[in-house]
Structures are given as C-alpha cells and as structure tokens.
Amino acid sequence: MSELNEQGNVLLTLLADGEFHSGEKIGELLGVSRTSVNNYIKALQEIGLDIYKVTGKGYRSAVPIDLLNADKIKQLSKNKMVHVEQILDSTNQWLLDRIPNLQNGQSCISEYQLAGRGRRGRTWISPFASHLYFSFYWRFDSGIDKVSGLSLLVGIATVNALEKVGVQGVSLKWPNDLYYQGKKLAGILIELNAQATEACHTVIGIGINVRMPPEQAKLIDQPWIDLHHLTSASVDRNLLSATLINELQTLLPQYEQTGLQPYLSRWFDLDCFLNKTVNLLIAGKSKQGICRGINESGALLLECDGQVEAYIGGEISLRLAKL
C-alpha cells in the first residue's frame, strides 16, 4: 500500500484547508452515504490525522494539512533523486530493497509509515502528514570501517538543517537522538548493507517530530517535543527535507575523506550530556560515570574513578543519572 484510494485522496484534499465541511457536502463529493463518510473520516483518523466533528458545522482538520511535494523538494535541493510516497512500510526499507541500484543522494520520504522503526527494534510513531519520515542513501567505497561515527555526523547535519530553517537550541544525545531541553525531538537509524572487504551501502533514516497529534502523543512512553512548540512560525516539511538533503550531500563526502575528527568541536558544542553524570546501560547492566564527549571514532567517553574509557556499539544506551 503506497497511497490512499481515490475517495480518500479527495477527502484529504478537501479537509486540507482546515475549514469545516458538512457531512452532506462530503457525501455528495465522494458519491457515498453519510455512514460511508463517517467510515472515511475514521480511516483518516486511524492513520493519525486529527479530524473532529461539530454538530451543525461538519468535519474539520484540527490544523491545515501541508502535504509533501517531490517537485518542490527537488527544486529546493537541486537534487532530482527524491522519491515521495503517501504510505510505506518504512522509508529505510524502501531504499534497502533497491540496493545496489541506487546513486548517492537518493532519498525517500513518506507521509506515513506502517512499520516505522527506531533503534533496537523500537516502533517509531508515524502519524500521517504530521512529522518527517526521511531516508537517504550513501555508498562508502572505503568500506564499513568508515561508518562507526556516522550517526553522530548525521546528528550534526540534522541540527545544521534545523538551524537553517529557523529552529534553534537543539542538542544531541549519543549516539543517535536529537533533544530539546531534555525532551526527544528526533531520532536517527543507520542501516547497513556491507561485506567486510567491499563497499558499504548505508541507509540513513531520520525521523523528526513536526506537529504531534494529541491521540498519537498518548502512545509515546518518553518525554517528547515537536517543532510546532519550538518556533512561532510553522516549519515547511518540504523546505526541511530539501535542507536535510543539502546538508548530507555537503558533509558526507567530507566525512568519507576525513572521518569524524573535524566535527568533534561541533559535537562537543551540541552534546546535551557533556560533563554530566550519566548511566551507561550495557547488556542489562548499568555503569555510572561522567560523560566526557566522544573520540574521533565516535565512541562515548565515560570517566569512572578518574579513568576515561571509550564505549561504542549498537546495544548501548545512555541515560542522565538521577542524583
């Protein structure tokens, strides 16, 4: 399933203006009964659209719906390899399924994910047309050794993009989260297709909370925030997508040549746990220490009893210690 049916699209287009539309008008437009109108409304609500009904007025989207536009993103980014879908299982999987027939810079962006995923197999809540579900392909000819600090570089690129569209004050949490004042704003998921002695194909997934519908917010079990609460102006997801593409296309070639070392100072400026007492969770065990940033390999530096140790790996989680 990659798109709504014809009647669903007609209803979506009608409600996108954020104004009231009567059930009678909608029924006439779709050529269906009032009961069927209710079913179509419920179908849109089930994929995360915040639509409500007022007796005597009809149905209305809580906010105007600004849909993704591939042509606009291509124009803004000057990159023609932009693929936009309404509904996908996963933007990362769409790219993974097309390796090795991809070129550097191919992106996939979706309005809704049926099976969006985060790090360590977690589900990523993906309401329709509310957030940014973005994936980007890059091939590292130098091999898999180059990608150990990739999620950190992508975090920096994402903060850069957010700053360029007017969002300030976002910080980074090792190894793959963006935070604002202790609340999660975005997450990064890097997936690889590689052999030890061959080129490394990477799919970079970035999920950013843009405007969280109230019903979807109830499904999240950690402190969160969205861009709607960070800026008085609405964030154009098309512009944000294009800006992300531009940042990644600028930083990734440099990173492949130099590694993470030139970006360390930028990470230290953005690290929300730097010099704070933290708990490092490894294989169900917790180790407490002081976060001292990262090294040029992307490893977390943890000071314990005066000694600084480096930690890196996919099954490690970092938490601020409760003192």
Residues labelled as active-site residues: 119, 184, 319
DSSP 8-state assignment for residue 124 = P
SS3 string, 190-251, reads: EEEEECCCCCEEEEEEEEECCCCCHHHHCCCCCCECCHHHCCCCCCCHHHHHHHHHHHHHHH
Query: Which DSSP category does 122 fall into?
Result: P
Q: What is the rounded CA–CA span in Å between residue 118 and residue 174?
A: 15
Cα 210 to Cα 9, 88, 229, 241, 311: the distances in Å are 22, 19, 9, 12, 32
**Alpha-carbon distance 156 to 248, whole Å?**
10
Q: Residue 78: how many CA atoms within 13 Å on its side-chain side?
A: 4
Angle at 206 between CA 189 and CA 279, to 5 degrees: 50
Instruction: Please provide residue 205's backbone torsions phi and psi, each rounded to the nearest 5 degrees.
Output: -100, 130
SS3 186: strand
What backbone phi and psi angles, to 5 degrees, belong to 305?
Answer: 55, 40
SS3 of residue 81 by DSSP: coil
- Are 114 and 87 in contact by the 8 Å Cβ rule? The answer is yes
The answer to whether the CB of 215 falls within 8 A of the CB of 50 is yes
